[in-house]
Amino acid sequence: MDDCIFCKIIAGDIPSECVLSTEAAFAFMDIGPLAAGHCLLIPRSHYETVDQMPAEEAAAVLGELPALVKAVQTATGCKGVNVLQNNGRVANQLVPHVHFHIIPRNPNDAWSFNWPAGEYTGDHMAELGDAIRKALS
């Protein structure tokens, strides 16, 4: 896609610090890191959201994730990582090209996020479970 910043990075039109390049996937250092070593893993093909990706291509891209996480941990010495994917504008996806954040984490680091756990009432969980299973079939 001509106006996609990540497609321009893959094409070499915008410089990046590439750390992984395969037929299906591309990973590079985030220019606005939440922690040193913060990387982005993206598909080479342009898809705005995960649900648009063919399963085979998603599997090929995500197949690179374990090695990339290990490499980030080794290079940074971090004690853990967050792997985050924001899917859609309402979910805070700022670049409309599928991407996974690999963010090194250490005790007492500078950022955190908390999400308040909700509760299901009555049969709501079972009803949603049924609806999801139906949508998958």
Backbone angles phi, psi at 57, to 5 degrees: -70, -40
Query: 29 with 16: CB under 8 angstroms?
Result: yes
- Cite the active site residues: 99
Give the burial string for 35-64 (b: 16+ CB within 10 Å, else e): bebbbbbbbbbbbbbbeebeeebbebbbeb
